[in-house]
Amino acid sequence: MRKLLLSTFVLSLLTGCGSDDTQNQPSEPITPQPEKSKYLTVDIKPEAKFEGTFKVYLGRYPDPVKAWLQSDEAYHQGDHTHDRMETGKYYAVDERDALLAGIVNEPETAIVVDTAKMHKLLMTNPDGLGAGSARGDIFVTGHYSPFDALRYLALTRNDIKLEAITPYDETGRDTYEFAVSWDCNRDGEFSDTDNISTDPDDTYGCGVNSSNYASPDWHFRFTFENGEMAKANGTLNGVGPQGELGYERMDQFWLKPGMKIRFQSFSPEMTQRRHWVQDREMSRLAQNGGKVIVPNFIVLPPPPMTPTVIKDLHVTAHNMRSDIFQPGVITGMDMFLSAADEGLDIAFNYWPSLSTGAKVGSFALFRAQGVSSKVGSGWSAKFGENAVNDDFSRDSNCAFDLQGLVVKPEDCRRDWQSRFGGNVLHLMNDRWVMNQPPEFVAAAYKDHYETWGMPEYSGKKRVERDFSREEDGTDIMTLQVFDLPKDDQGSVLEPTHFGWGIADCTECHNESKDPLGHGGHSWPINSSDGFDVTQPYYCATCHGNNGAPKAHGESARCFWCHDSEENRPTHHGDASTQRFYQGDEIKSNSHIYNHPNEIAALPRDEMGNFKEYDNIWSSVNSDWDMSKVFPDPYACMTCHLSTTN
């Protein structure tokens, strides 16, 4: 990605429109980039910074929408159950029904933490747990965990106290254990009166049946910044106002700027379940003399391909995120790279900031067993214990027989019954610390086209598309990837071309610039496919790709990454700009997916309430529009030849 962006930046400086191919040549030769890692499809070294802000919430969020959806009172309020009746799909009761029933999740006031202030204070080692992070063995100087954020809150606020702290190297679980007191009723005292809200309306937000005084049952939930298109932000999905929940060690979890962290009391059974998982991991580590050995590593490609199973995979650190973690720290990414060291075909791509505004900045599993992701379908990873596979789901009954835990139905509903948690989290592999081996690592190839209501188009297919706003079939055109000429065929452009590296030929070659060739503005138009505009990628069929940088294996939806502000391509006509979409132009409002025990993909607000998008700034290449001049992915795949299969 960096190589691509650097090349684009350098070449964007060469904008002279001369009258022949020898003018305005680059003054300096372009220095070849070093060879990228054998594990990566892109040449990039991330440099994450702890800067900006993040948000913190205290206490259990009541989440009335989730409570209603899981109650006997929930029923369909409207006729949206017929949205896809022609396909025979069943819709569960969802947030649309809750809104019609008058059930709403009200917004909260967040504690906004300034990362610079937090860093400055913690570097003084004010509580004796370490200068900087309390886990200097995990994080490089300047990076922190949610536990460090909790330390900071306890040091700077008078309504929360961190006490009874046991160091991570004394708990037997390689994590700090502690108790929290929270003055949730704001009476200026830490006492039993903060434990249980006797107010039916929970006026102070203490959380019904929450333990808030000298409680060992506090843990954290998290939500990463979703950007504008927060379709998965539902309460039953597990990423709504409460946030996602796992059994992860709080002090080994990377605190990413921009994210939301919730500290709250959980049921004692949740604490016991988390400890049980961590104890199993520690036992596994001890049995192997401190080596991280995963009993079962599984790759499940699409049928009819056969799965790959590696028994007792020895995992070593590859230090791919040296900007965050200390040398030797094991991550989920290392699980796959260690399998690659044993001969398995594995490759990672890189996700920067996305067109939705989500700032990802992480490596993502792109290829395994020769099967590459296609954006709307690709690889999904799971890590953990076999026994906790079904802990978190909409239908979890919390039957923890192996642990001997008995969980009250209401605690099960509050703490476990949501889609994302446990083995399945929105946590990128390169950030997921796994210094203690899980029982299994699994990657499965899954399809999300239907889930998100996306058309499944690929740059390698010849398709027809209606470009008229009314979609009445009056403006149908054929889209395809073109073959480029060989070096010894046609008028293939060379680096001496005055516009070398400029994607949009019409910046120089147009009716007002008195250009050479093709008779002024009478440029070749791909009329046989239905187009009536000049398309540079059609010009490339005779003149070559004019120095376009190599691609990195993706085959569609380039706009997902290259429509973000920092990654938007220059000199690509209207594909280098954004357009304001509103009303019926936003086709994503009508793409709804709702499975009773999976996810419900529908437009929501920050609190998880149903809310259609009113307006969105987006590139003309999107899932509801497409550029005629640089249609994604057909123009992209013609000129930016892929370096991977």
State whether 461 and 525 are in the same domain.
yes
**pLDDT computed for residue 304 by the predictor:** 94
Question: pLDDT of 393-432, one tens digit each?
Answer: 888 899 887 678 999 999 999 999 988 888 889 999 999 9
- Domain check: are 490 and 415 in the same one? no
- Model pLDDT, residue 79: 67
On whether both 387 and 322 belong to a single domain, the answer is yes
Question: Which H or E run contains 114?
Answer: strand 111-114
User: Measuring CA to CA, which residue among 219, 225, 425 is closest to residue 332?
Assistant: 425
Is residue 46 one of the residues assigned to a domain?
Answer: no
Is there a domain that residue 462 lies in?
Answer: yes
Give the chain's domain count.
3
Distance CA 99, CA 26 (A): 60
User: Do 248 and 311 sit in the same domain of this protein?
Assistant: no
- Per-residue pLDDT of 288-331, as tens digits, reads 999 999 999 999 999 999 999 999 999 999 999 999 999 999 99
Residue 588 lies in a domain: no
Asked whether 127 and 147 are in contact (CB, 8 A), the reply is no
Residue 592 lies in a domain: no
227 and 298 co-located in one domain = no
What is residue 320's predicted lDDT score, i.e. its pLDDT?
Answer: 97
Which residues constitute the domain of residue 414? Answer: 272-447
What is the 8-class DSSP label of residue 48? -
Enter the DSSP assignment of 548: P
Q: What CA–CA distance (Å, rounded) separates 468 from 475? A: 5
Return the residue matching tokens 């993706």.
554
Q: Is residue 43 part of a domain?
A: no
Assigned domain for 603 exists: no
Query: Does 583 map to a domain?
Result: no
Task: Please check whether residues 352 and 280 belong to one and the same domain.
Answer: yes
- Give me the torsion for CA of 131, 360, 42, 26, rounded to 10°: -90
Pair (494, 375) in one structural domain: no
Which distant-in-sequence residues (6+ apart) come within 8 Å of 280 by Cβ? Answer: 385, 439
CB 604 within 8 A of CB 598: no
Q: What values do phi and psi take at 471, rounded to 5?
A: 50, 45
User: Is 150 contained in some domain?
Assistant: yes
Question: 424 and 479: one domain?
Answer: no
Indicate whether 223 and 281 sit together in one domain.
Answer: no
State the CB neighbour count (10 A cutoff) for residue 328.
Answer: 11
* Predicted pLDDT at 111: 97
Please identify, among 233, 251, 268, the residue that sits at the C-terminal boundary of a domain: 268
At 308, give phi and psi (nearest 5°): -110, 130
Same domain? For 26 and 110 the reply is: no
Q: What is the DSSP string of 116-142?
A: HHHHHHHTT-TTSS-SS-S-TTTB-TT
Residue ranges in the chain whose pLDDT is less than 70: 1-36, 79-90, 197-204, 229, 402, 469-472, 487-490, 513-517, 519-522, 643-645
186 φψ region: left (φ > 0), alpha (ψ -120 to 50), beta (else): left
Residue pair 215/265 in contact (Cβ under 8 Å)? The answer is: yes
Q: Which of 248, 268, 288 is the last residue of a domain?
A: 268
| Strands 579-582 and 615-618, sheet pairing | antiparallel
Is residue 390 exposed (0-12), middle (13-18) or buried (19+ Cβ within 10 Å)? middle
**For 481-500, how does the pLDDT look when each residue is reduced to its tens digit (9 = 90+)?**
999 998 666 689 999 998 99
Per-residue pLDDT, 159:
96
